[in-house]
Amino acid sequence: MRRLPTLSLGDPLLRAWVYQALALGIVALTVWYLTANTLRNLELRGISTGFEFLWREAGLPIAETPIDYAPTDSYGRALLIGILNTLKVASLGIVLATLLGTMIGIAQLSRNWLLAKISALYVELLRDLPLLLQLLFWYTALQALPAARQAFNLLPGIFLSNRGLMLPALSIDNFQHLAVAIAAIVIVIAAAFFFRRSRFAKRQDGQRRRLWPSVLILAMLLPTAIFWRLGTPFQVDLPTLRGFNFRGGTLVSPEFFALLFGLVTYTAAFIAEIVRAGIIAVSKGQWEAGRALGLHNGLILRKIVMPQSLRLIIPPLTSQYLNLAKNSSLAVAIGYQDIVSIANTTLNQTGQAIEGIAIIMMVYLTISLSISLFMNWYNDHVALKGL
């Protein structure tokens, strides 16, 4: 006759399940108590809860709006503008900080003494100063620039004044916009297809194939076909000074410019150290082997050293991307209307403080988790398999 298994805390597997169930129960009980206590106290004080306020008229002016917005729109649309503004500064900041930090990190290892020392001075100076102080400095510096009539003409069609940075803009209608967007997606997909096919062919016969002629032809043919079919080319709208201000073009506000510049220069200092450490960690024998093959230093760095150092660079680089995204919340200090700024105004007007803070936390949590997931995927993609 088969004996039934006995249940005893002496069994390690059963003990582990019991402890995990107890821990989960304690967490659930704590969350329930805090939520119930908060709702009861809010009810006693006559404070309404819920997210119904998102559909009420905001009456909130917003200076920079990536999509159409008017103060008569709802709080929900105003918060969406804040999220888009946060995503804009975070995404641009990550790209620019990566480029600048990589260049400075490589420059620190340069044989040119002056370039290496200037790069090291940049790193030590920028990373030792509080970011909030730097943002206030850059914003104050931009406010000290001359007025529009005395603006600095940096390049043809580009002006810098205390009203911000004026840039040329492309004037296209919605239909052309859609056609160009579809063409850009087609070009990217085709380039990815040609790249994968080239890599597969190289693995088969060891021959390297030129990829850029196919992509270049495609990139020229598609826009030409769009212009021929639609009949109206792009129109470049140049900013021109009329009276006391510029007309036309597109404006990068002083708040956005100061925030982006401060985030990029500050984060680039940390990324530079990460890149420098990653390059140094690669054995000197790799450099010597490359020189023995007759390769110059730039090609050795690009083809041999950087691919190996990426495995060391990516994990700490992910932390810097997360820091940049979270540090963008300091925008409220210089008046840039990101999600924190707009949510603060919303909760002051509606009294929905808990909901407003919860929305801010969910936005940053979503952005941070998205960055982590992408970087973990990329880290796994470049990792050595089988080790």
Query: What is the residue extent of each domain of the chain?
Result: 75-172+238-382, 175-233
Is 153 a residue whose pLDDT tops 80?
yes
CATH 1.10.3720.10 given to domain 75-172+238-382: yes
Over residues 165-190, the mean pLDDT reads 73
Quote the pLDDT of residue 3. 58
Is 178 a residue whose pLDDT tops 80?
no
Quote the pLDDT of residue 2. 56
Quote the pLDDT of residue 250. 83
Quote the pLDDT of residue 255. 92
Is 209 a residue whose pLDDT tops 80?
no
Quote the pLDDT of residue 176. 63
Over residues 352-375, the mean pLDDT reads 92
Quote the pLDDT of residue 4. 56
Quote the pLDDT of residue 124. 93
Q: Which residues contact 37 (CB under 8 A, 6 or more apart)?
A: none
Distance of alpha carbon 230 from alpha carbon 226, whole angstroms: 6
Is 85 a residue whose pLDDT tops 80?
yes
Distance of alpha carbon 50 from alpha carbon 356, whole angstroms: 10
pTM of the model: 0.78
Contact yes or no for 146/162 (Cβ under 8 A): yes
Q: Which two tokens stand for residue 91?
A: 């995404």
Is 63 a residue whose pLDDT tops 90?
no
Quote the pLDDT of residue 293. 86
Q: Average pLDDT, whole number, for the chain?
A: 85
- pLDDT band, residue 353 (cuts 50/70/90): confident
Burial label for 292, CB within 10 Å (0-12, 13-18, 19+), is exposed
- pLDDT band, residue 185 (cuts 50/70/90): confident
Q: Which has more confidence, 195 or 125?
A: 125
Backbone angles phi, psi at 57, to 5 degrees: -65, 130
DSSP string, 82-151: HHHHHHHHHHHHHHHHHHHHHHHHHHTT-S-HHHHHHHHHHHHHHHTS-HHHHHHHHHHHHHTS--GGG-
Q: Which segment of 40-49, 170-179, 251-260, 326-335 scores lowest on mean pLDDT?
A: 170-179
Quote the pLDDT of residue 193. 79
Over residues 338-342, the mean pLDDT reads 92
Q: What is the SS3 assignment for 159?
A: strand
Burial label for 82, CB within 10 Å (0-12, 13-18, 19+), is buried
Quote the pLDDT of residue 172. 64
Distance of alpha carbon 195 from alpha carbon 189, whole angstroms: 10
- Which percentage of the chain shows pLDDT scores above 70? 91
Q: What is the SS3 assignment for 9?
A: coil
Is 381 a residue whose pLDDT tops 60?
yes
- pLDDT band, residue 232 (cuts 50/70/90): low
Quote the pLDDT of residue 126. 93
Over residues 131-143, the mean pLDDT reads 93
Q: Which has more confidence, 26 or 9?
A: 26
Quote the pLDDT of residue 51. 84
Quote the pLDDT of residue 320. 94
Over residues 119-134, the mean pLDDT reads 94
Quote the pLDDT of residue 257. 92
Quote the pLDDT of residue 139. 92
Is 1 a residue whose pLDDT tops 60?
no
Most confident option among 104-118, 141-155, 167-181: 104-118
Over residues 124-128, the mean pLDDT reads 92
Query: Exposed e or buried b for every residue in 151-168, given b needs 16+ CB within 10 A?
Result: beeeeebbbbbebbbbbb
Over residues 233-245, the mean pLDDT reads 76
Which H/E stretch holds residue 250? strand 250-252
- Which percentage of the chain shows pLDDT scores above 90? 40
Quote the pLDDT of residue 173. 62
Q: Which has more confidence, 7 or 316?
A: 316
